[in-house]
Structure 1
């Protein structure tokens, strides 16, 4: 027969462990949130670890507990907070413009405007960021090319043109946030889809 006192103690230990893990996860998330805000605004090099801790509301030592080096904060941000969402490509044969427009809406780059600024700002000086940006770009190109192949049956023999069209469209999806931040000019993906479709004939 179970000892009610032991059962209560085990439940209490389990509850305390869950609370501890939740608090740790919350602290780590706040550190990454603070780093994202600061790296986007001031840049990685200009942001001291102490400032990250201050904005996150945690002791500086806790930052080093989760991220032994400052670069580990940047690497974790880039790996965890940028992705291309996994969605089916919806292609309508004979309608490349509509297909690319649907792709733009259903295939968002999962990265906040701040994360996009970080990607572009730090790609020149940090190899891990440059590699991540390259892999995101390659994935969007791959999906755009596949969508165009489905929308334009029989076009696979014209791989170079499809690749160029996909790369152009990927540039709009990936880089427009950065362009908008720099210039205030927003590029309409639907208009670009129409231009690409027209160019492909």
Structure 2
């Protein structure tokens, strides 16, 4: 016999799973709570039992199903500057399903929790890129403004790539971008 806690957790998970699918397909505004309930196979009132407002479903998805991985600089840096940036691109710090990535990028303009999560991703990529450049370009710390601009440019391209890939399937080669940035720095 299943305990009521297990049933509650299963129901809540089914609601979140349904919302994730629907928000990724149709967007937050294009999804109704009735649609979430139908997809989750629960009464509409049960959606409101767990999530008093539809925005609470979105916020919960973002907080529980996306994660910004933070690592030490030593884990991110090796080789020459372009290789270090390329390695960073391969270890992009956003941990989320493809559906959640699509939701984040789609909803960032209108929902603060999505915007804040992407802001944290951007800040982590800039931090890692700046640190990688500082550690692989001896004597570069004296030119902090150029390093910050290079790191911000690299982060912008990576975030643009994430959004572009989910919307169009196109891909920007991060290795080529890393080479361009390092070349622009004169390294």
TM-score range (shorter-chain normalised) is: 0.7 to 0.9
- Aligned residue number for residue 4 of structure 1: none
Report how many residues are paired: 184
Indicate which of 34, 46, 66 corresponds to 2:30.
Answer: 46
CA shift at 1:48, angstroms?
0.7
Which whole-Å deviations, capped at 9, do the CAs of 1:135-173 have from their partners, x for residues lacking one? 221122112211221112321121121112212222233
- Aligned residue number for residue 39 of structure 2: 55
- Aligned residue number for residue 18 of structure 2: 34
1:87–1:106 contact (8 Å) kept in structure 2: no
**Could you list the runs of 4 or more consecutive aligned residues of structure 1 that deviate by over 6 angstroms after TM superposition?**
none
* Distance (Å, rounded) in 2 between the aligned partners of 1:78 and 1:119: 8
Question: Which residues in structure 2 correspond to 1:130-149 (within 5 Å)?
Answer: 130-149=115-134
Structure whose alpha-carbon radius of gyration is higher: 1
Indicate which of 162, 165, 170 corresponds to 1:177.
Answer: 162
Q: CA 1:27/1:174 → structure 2, altered by over 3 Å: closer, same or farther?
A: farther
Q: CA RMSD in A?
A: 2.0
CA shift at 1:98, angstroms?
0.9
* Distance (Å, rounded) in 1 between the aligned partners of 2:112 and 2:91: 29
1:109–1:174 contact (8 Å) kept in structure 2: no
Which consecutive unaligned segments of at least 5 residues does structure 2 have? none
**TM-score scaled by structure 1?**
0.82
Which whole-Å deviations, capped at 9, do the CAs of 1:101-149 have from their partners, x for residues lacking one? 2222234411222222222222222223222222221122112211221
2:61 is equivalent to residue 77 of structure 1: yes
CA shift at 1:73, angstroms?
0.6
2:151 is equivalent to residue 166 of structure 1: yes
* Distance (Å, rounded) in 1 between the aligned partners of 2:28 and 2:132: 37
Q: CA 1:90/1:180 → structure 2, altered by over 3 Å: closer, same or farther?
A: closer
* Distance (Å, rounded) in 2 between the aligned partners of 1:161 and 1:24: 53
* Distance (Å, rounded) in 1 between the aligned partners of 2:143 and 2:15: 48
**TM-score scaled by structure 2?**
0.87
2:76–2:128 contact (8 Å) kept in structure 1: no
1:173–1:189 contact (8 Å) kept in structure 2: yes
* Distance (Å, rounded) in 2 between the aligned partners of 1:148 and 1:27: 47
1:82–1:110 contact (8 Å) kept in structure 2: yes
